[in-house]
Copies of this chain bind each other. A is one copy, B any other.
Amino acid sequence: MSKLKLGVIGAGRIGKVHIATLVQSVPETEVVALADVNIDGAQQLAAQYGISFVSSDYREIIKHPDVEAVVICSPTDTHARYIVEAAQAGKHIFCEKPVDLSIDVIKNAIAEVKKAGVKLMVGFNRRFDPNFRKVHDMVASGKIGEPSILKITSRDPNPPSPQYIAVSGGMFLDMTIHDFDMARYIAGSEITEVYVKAAVLVDKAIGEAGDVDTAIITLTFANGAIGVIDNSRKAVYGYDQRLEIFGTKGMVTADNNFPDNHRYFTDDGIHGALPLNFFMDRYLDAYSTELKLFCDAIVHDKPVPVGGEDGLMSVAIGLAAKKSVAEGRPVKISEILA
């Protein structure tokens, strides 16, 4: 059987991760083309992983006759455009989140994808974390009865730079967007309303840049459940990613992952390791599983596990969250989608 041929657009941090995964862990695929505006970096990466075609122009990847699917790892403001062009060229698409920060732009991209009949998967990698996946599967199979309360804790080890924050779209579209997707995934139901209480408690510079760094976000789900996300841009003890879902027949929780499970007993207490501190470490398996499932969906013509509508919804919820902070009231998602 011939291998699925992929082209990657963007050779930055996440592009490198995806290429390494595809080459080392997805034997049924082949990365045949790579584009980055930084052509030197792209050529070096191509040499390391045996990628034959390199360009500084993403269009050459999309148009490359061997390329069956593109993996879009370029900056956010290019995502929707590349999706549209790839769809029009008949290529399947894996795109990093978020698709865009504008609802209309995302809707248009989804429409083009549908018209072209190609597959579009959005990179919500955390859905493929073994802990969260286990919780999802247990909820989906009825182990907790009807979901009542969902709680997600999501805290970063360190805030991004003020420069990054200025262009990020704000915490809700940059960081919490993952949690919005996770909430929909775990609860198995759409979010219909959000109320956000936010604060600047990590760094005043973040507030001066017009963003917040700490938040408690109340969620209402279509199935009647309610939920809460708590966020901070800085947890001194590291990357904190936990959740619990409570229902009429029980509760399931997922905890952080750790570099090792040693415990150290001294006259001063019992001590253990901090959580894996870097999202690449925590979600290493998730990144790999995500791309395997994307390739598998193409090769066996199955639905992708996270589609364009999922990309749309998380951005809509993020925009509702911003509005909630601005107006100090609960905001319905339908206000944003209308």
Q: Are the CB atoms of B197 and A226 closer together than 8 Å?
A: yes
Cβ < 8 Å to B, chain A residues 189-225:
195, 197-199, 201-202, 214-216, 218, 220, 224-225
Binding-face segment, A101-109, A163-171, A261-269: A261-269
Q: Are the CB atoms of B246 and A218 closer together than 8 Å?
A: no
A218 to B328, CA, bound (A): 12
Q: Are the CB atoms of A148 and B214 closer together than 8 Å?
A: yes
Known: A155-B246, A237-B251, A266-B236. A228 touches B216 (CB 8 A): yes
A292 to B260, CA, bound (A): 19
Q: Does A298 contact B (CB under 8 A)?
A: no
Cβ < 8 Å to B, chain A residues 47-80:
none
In the assembled complex, which residues on chain B have CB atoms less than 8 Å from the CB atom of A215? 226
Pick the contact of A227: B216, B236, B256 (CB < 8 A). B216
Instruction: Give the copy number.
Output: 4
In the assembled complex, which residues on chain B have CB atoms less than 8 Å from the CB atom of A149? 214, 216, 230, 232
Binding-face segment, A6-14, A38-46, A270-278, A304-312: A270-278
What's the tally of chain A residues with a CB closer than 8 Å to chain B? 67
The 5 closest A-B pairs by CB, nearest first: A237-B265, A251-B265, A250-B266, A134-B260, A130-B260
Which residues of A approach B to under 8 Å, CB–CB? 24-25, 130-131, 133-135, 138, 143, 146, 148-149, 151, 153, 155, 195, 197-199, 201-202, 214-216, 218, 220, 224-228, 230, 232, 234-238, 246, 248-257, 259-267, 269-274, 328-330
Sample 12 A-B pairs with CB under 8 A, ordered by A number.
A143-B264, A149-B216, A151-B230, A202-B248, A216-B218, A216-B226, A235-B251, A236-B249, A237-B265, A252-B263, A253-B263, A254-B261
